[in-house]
């Protein structure tokens, strides 16, 4: 199997409120509005996260993202009023942070400055 692109969905009950929160989270408006209740941010060359209004599934997403500079990202979240829970790391694991959106969807972010 060859996969060419990844779309990871984040279901929310209150789409309008979530759209504003995710715009702050990503530091920009969505790259594409697909439908009345669907927006997409491209976050990597071959990966996007899409927000979708889906009250039945809301709050159950779990995504893990590797980032270059976790300290800068945590500072960005603080400026945007987004709480980030720092997780302790040891020499055998990277620095990690957890961000939970207002509906309970969870992002684990870890530092991977080595790249791609």
pTM for this predicted structure: 0.87
Output the domain CATH number for residue 34.
3.10.180.10
Q: Does a structural domain hold residue 1? A: no
Instruction: Give a yes or no: residue 26 inside a domain.
Output: yes
Q: For 33-50, what is each residue's pLDDT tens digit?
A: 989 999 999 999 999 999
- Does residue 50 form part of some domain? yes
Counted domains in the chain: 1
Instruction: Give pLDDT tens digits for 48-106.
Output: 999 999 999 999 999 999 998 888 999 999 999 999 887 766 777 788 999 999 999 99
> Half-sphere exposure of 10 toward its Cβ, with a 13 Å CA cutoff?
24
Q: Is residue 36 part of a domain?
A: yes
**Full domain range(s) for residue 23:** 6-111
116 within some domain: no
């Amino acid at each position: 199997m060859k996969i060419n692109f990844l779309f990871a969905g984040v279901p929310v009950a209150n789409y309008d409120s979530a759209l504003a929160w995710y715009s702050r989270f990503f530091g920009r408006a969505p790259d594409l509005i697909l439908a009345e209740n669907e927006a997409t941010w491209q976050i990597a060359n071959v990966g996007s996260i899409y927000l979708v209004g889906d009250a039945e599934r809301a709050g159950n997403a779990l995504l893990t993202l590797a980032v270059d500079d976790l300290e800068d990202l945590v500072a960005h979240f603080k400026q945007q009023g987004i709480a980030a829970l720092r997780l302790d790391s040891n020499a055998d694991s990277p620095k990690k942070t957890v961000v939970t959106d207002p509906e309970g969807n969870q992002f684990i972010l870890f530092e991977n400055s080595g790249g791609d």
